[in-house]
Amino acid sequence: MSVLKLVGISKSFGGTRVFENVDLDVEKGDRIAILGASGSGKSTLLRCINLLETPDAGSIEIGGTKVGSAGRSGLRISERDLQALRLRAGMVFQQFNLFPHMTVAGNVAEGLSTVRRMSRPDARTRAIMELARVGLADKADAYPARLSGGQKQRVAIARALAMDPEILLFDEPTSALDPALVGEVLGVIEQLAEEGRTMLLVTHEIGFAYHVANRILFLAEGGIYESGTPDEVLKHPRRPLTQHFLKEHKRFQF
């Protein structure tokens, strides 16, 4: 069953093209890792999926329903469609973007109460459940400033999970973290993968991608440059830019 389907998505910023004509079909339970050099458009692709950026052309289908209608300058989407889409696609940002003026539980409960219209006590109960899932139930009443980077990112994951998304979008969730804190966040993501969650993950942790993903996309030259199973793309890359990228990444490994 297709959870997300992109057809012919293009995006440029003021004349500079980021990518053109990208097609992507995500099945339920897919774990897709997106790799690529810095500036290759990985973030932009994720942000086009939940419409933080509006694609210039193409169509998006999520859970079998088409989002918006083709307008003169890219997709035209009503505020209601936008909200519906975002409820189905949860997003985790590189910089966490927690709400600093709310407690940890407040962050996770916010969408439940203001968007899902859950009562505040119910939202809090649910929030604490989600926090327990990422191992942070004991931090429910702390403010984000008190947490380590790894803890912040786990809260951000709980915030996304609380909305019951059908697909999770991770944009370099560990890139802003101290190396020592990367593991705890990857652990949570791995656990979500094992539960059978559908996810798109932009990452530079190639070993983790190999281990967790069932498909790899390599972005370059304004599109999906190479794709396939982890073995195909990461062990036996066929095209030169992919080979070069992987070689550079392995340079200082032993």
Partner 1 sequence: MYEWDFGPVLAESGVLLAGFRNTLELTATALAGGLVVGLLLALARLSPRRRLRWPAGVVIEVFRTTPPLVQLFWFYFGLPIVVSVEMTPFLAAALTFTIQSGAFFAEILRAGIVSIERGQWEAASAIGMRPHQTMRRVILPQAVKRMFPSMMERSIELMKTTTLVATVSYADLLFQANELAQKTFRPLEVFTLVALVYFVAITCLSGLGSLLERRFARSGEFAA
Ligand X SMILES: Nc1ncnc2c1ncn2[C@@H]1O[C@H](COP(=O)(O)OP(=O)(O)O)[C@@H](O)[C@H]1O
Residues that bind ligand X in the complex, under the rule CB under 6 A: 13, 18, 36, 38-44
42 counts as binding partner 1 under rule CB under 8 A? no
With b for 16 or more beta-carbon neighbours within 10 A and e for fewer, the 20-31 pattern comes to bebebebeeebb
Answer with the entry of ligand X, partner 1, Mg ion, none that 13 interacts with (C-beta below 5 to 8 A by kind). Answer: ligand X
90 counts as binding partner 1 under rule CB under 8 A? yes
- Smaller CB separation from ligand X, 48 or 162: 48
213/244 Cα distance (integer angstroms): 21
Q: How far is the CB of 42 from Mg ion (least distance, A)?
A: 5
- Smaller CB separation from partner 1, 59 or 97: 97
156/173 Cα distance (integer angstroms): 10
Residue ranges in 41-60 that form contacts with Mg ion under rule CB under 5 A: 43
32/157 Cα distance (integer angstroms): 17
The interface region with partner 1, picked from 122-130, 140-148, 210-218, 221-229 by CB under 8 A, is 140-148
110 counts as binding partner 1 under rule CB under 8 A? yes
The interface region with Mg ion, picked from 29-37, 39-47, 97-105, 216-224 by CB under 5 A, is 39-47
How crowded is the C-beta side of 30, counted as CA atoms within 13 Å?
23
Binding-site member from 1, 16, 79, 254 for partner 1 (CB under 8 A):
79
C-beta of residue 153 within 8 angstroms of C-beta of residue 134? no
Binding-site member from 13, 39, 69, 115 for partner 1 (CB under 8 A):
115
- Smaller CB separation from ligand X, 87 or 241: 241
Q: How far is the CB of 176 from partner 1 (least distance, A)?
A: 11
String marking each residue 47-66 x if it binds partner 1 according to CB under 8 A: ---x-x--------------
Burial (0-12, 13-18, 19+ Cβ within 10 Å), 190: middle
Binding-site member from 2, 65, 69, 95 for partner 1 (CB under 8 A):
95
Taking the alpha carbons of 35, 37, 38, 43 in that order, is the dihedral positive or negative? negative
Picking from 24, 31, 28, the residue whose alpha carbon sits closest to that of residue 60 is 24
Burial (0-12, 13-18, 19+ Cβ within 10 Å), 247: exposed
The interface region with partner 1, picked from 13-21, 93-101, 125-133, 240-248 by CB under 8 A, is 93-101
Task: Show Cβ contacts of residue 83 under 8 Å, excluding neighbours closer than 6 positions.
Answer: 115
Answer with the entry of ligand X, Mg ion, partner 1, none that 31 interacts with (C-beta below 5 to 8 A by kind). Answer: none
Which chain residues interact with Mg ion by CB under 5 A?
A: 43
